A and B are shown apart, each in its own frame.
Chain A
Amino acid sequence: MISFTPFSTLHEAEHEVYNDDEAMDIDDDVQVSKITLPGETITSSQAYMRGHGTYVDNELVIASVAGTIERVNKLVTVRAVSTKYNPEVGDLVVGRITEVQPRRWKVDANSRQDAVLMLSSVNLPGGVQRRKLESDELQMRTFFEEGDLLVAEVQAFFADGAMSLHTRSLKYGKLRNGQLVVIPPILVRRLKSHFTTLPCGVDLILGLNGYIWVSKHVQENEQEGEEGFDAETIYSNRNDPIDESTRSAISRVTNIIRALAAHFVPLTDTLLLEAYEWTVENDIDAKSLLSEDISDALVASIAGGT
């Protein structure tokens, strides 16, 4: 008869060793990204404070998600490797309208709940600063309809954790002339500017929620100044004419982003630019970027090559 005793002692032995070197690691000030899994003990709750991704049981701080342990002074957090977007005030997000409600829109922003865009936090036609009227309420669908994509900023949070957005800037608003790519939100880092223009005539909006808008380049002067505010163009549902070369550039950038995301490489504008140049140099079209060996080669040359 086989008994389980050898197994269980082995398990306990392993566990003890584990706690030991974890306790050591957390005291080290060397920045080593330490990986933890749900249910693993990190440290004692007497000496440390628990942060996100952890819970306290029996005076021990225990991880609840799989990810890397981060420590700021006495605060211990676990940053999950793959998770939904966690909004913070001031973040730039790209979202899609899911519902029109009285005086507000519901926006899907890849978060744990749909975001809210109040009628009072959008630019209304006929001047930026004006009171909203009942007539505006009645024609909300002329501004945003279900399915429309928009770029906005996180303004505040409601009591239940849902985020409230605003588009009170000429940079924000409805999106046209392009294509959406969805990648894991952790791959979008906070940058100085989330609006980028690539030299190939493509504009990029890197939403911190992992939604990325790739579109035809729009001249700066077209969207300048308070007088330049024109409700007709801002809330228009019609694309501008896009020529053949821009179309292929858009799809090439989109597929580069997809290839990088499939290899879990964080996205930056310099990396994208490098990747775009690589595809041009090697004469690779948008379609073949999706094949496995070409995307492998792309990632190897830009991430491993330098």
Chain B
Amino acid sequence: MAPRIEVLNDGGFRSDGRRQYELREITIDLTQQGAADGAATITHGLTKVMVSVFGPREAKLRSQTIHDRANINVEVTIAAFSTGERRKRNRGDKRILELAATIKSTFEPVIQTSLYPRSQIDIFVQVLEQDGGLLQACINGATLALSNAGIPMLDFVCAVTGGVQLTSPMLDLTLLEENDMPHVTVAILPKTSKATLVTMETRLHVERFEEILRLAGEAGNILHRVFKGALRNRTTRLVASMDSGTRVAGEDDAMES
């Protein structure tokens, strides 16, 4: 058996030099992408995800319309070059469909869909680089893109992965760590501290679960601050440029009269 990597060394550092509860660096880009109504590119360390949101708009298929609320449609594409080993996944891949379904069920209670009957909201997720925490990055990117598109939501959704090595919990796992230890992804609504998603593919000891959930909640609050900062920044910039335009127009009108 090949020697396993040391997930947490004696000095309390992880394989990438982080402490147990340290999150990876986050970068957020909210600039307009093509014709999308809202877009966001988010990186958690070496995981990079690009999300475009379209809508609410007329549903493409009449069978998909719901008479009293909007239908949320999530499509995930994983780039062939996103992993260490080049691998093409096609759209019908079970894992991708499951990922999309998870994202959809995370956002269904958060988006105020009843305001848009018979419409459709499309969330297109492009995975560009993966290094663990894929679901977390997808959910965080989708939150930002949705709020950037002006779609009414109860709150931001902040997702984070947590895992346990023996008895020591860790947050925001890399691919290396994810492969090596049981982990759980938690998405919380920071305002009410409710969890809208808790999911795991591995088995986790029940006595460790509570601690991880609590830590993930706290990490979610940290993410929330980062998201708010990024979105506030963009909103402020847009409002400022709009105001500068109206000021000019207002002066012109005054001159004419």
> Which of B147, B148, B150, B215: most chain A CB closer than 10 A?
B150
| Least CB separation from B65: chain A residue | A113
Least Cβ–Cβ distance between B18 and chain A, in angstroms: 10
Task: Check if A265 sits within 8 Å of B241, measured CB to CB.
Answer: yes
Task: Check if B150 sits within 8 Å of A264, measured CB to CB.
Answer: no
Q: Which of B154, B189, B241 contacts A64 (CB 8 A)?
A: B154
Q: Which of B152, B189, B236, B242 contacts A265 (CB 8 A)?
A: B242
Q: Considering the chains assembled together, what is the distance between the CA atoms of A64 and B112 in angstroms?
A: 9
Q: Mark B142-158, 1 if CB is under 8 A from A, else 0.
A: 00000111111111100
Least Cβ–Cβ distance between B254 and chain A, in angstroms: 11
Task: Check if A83 sits within 8 Å of B150, measured CB to CB.
Answer: yes
Task: Check if A7 sits within 8 Å of B221, measured CB to CB.
Answer: yes
- From known contacts A1-B20, A270-B253, infer whether A264 and B242 are also in contact, taking CB-CB under 8 Å: yes
Q: Mark B211-248, 1 if CB is under 8 A from A, else 0.
A: 00001001101100100100110011111011111101
Contacts of B37 in A (CB 8 A): 82-84
| Least CB separation from A3: chain B residue | B21
Q: Considering the chains assembled together, what is the distance between the CA atoms of A39 and B157 in angstroms?
A: 10
Contacts of A39 in B (CB 8 A): 153-156, 189-191
Q: Considering the chains assembled together, what is the distance between the CA atoms of A161 and B68 in angstroms?
A: 11
Q: Considering the chains assembled together, what is the distance between the CA atoms of A25 and B194 in angstroms?
A: 29
Q: Considering the chains assembled together, what is the distance between the CA atoms of A306 and B232 in angstroms?
A: 28
Within A1-37, the residues touching B (CB, 8 Å) are 1-4, 7-8, 11, 14, 33, 35, 37
Contacts of B112 in A (CB 8 A): 55, 64
- Does A140 sit within 8 A of B, measured CB to CB? no
Q: Considering the chains assembled together, what is the distance between the CA atoms of A268 and B116 in angstroms?
A: 30
Question: When A and B form their complex, which 5 residue pairs have the shortest distance between CB atoms, in order from nearest?
Answer: A83-B150, A39-B155, A80-B150, A64-B152, A265-B245
**Additional A-B contact list (5), CB under 8 Å, known A39-B189, A82-B150, A82-B238:** A55-B154, A62-B191, A82-B149, A112-B55, A113-B116
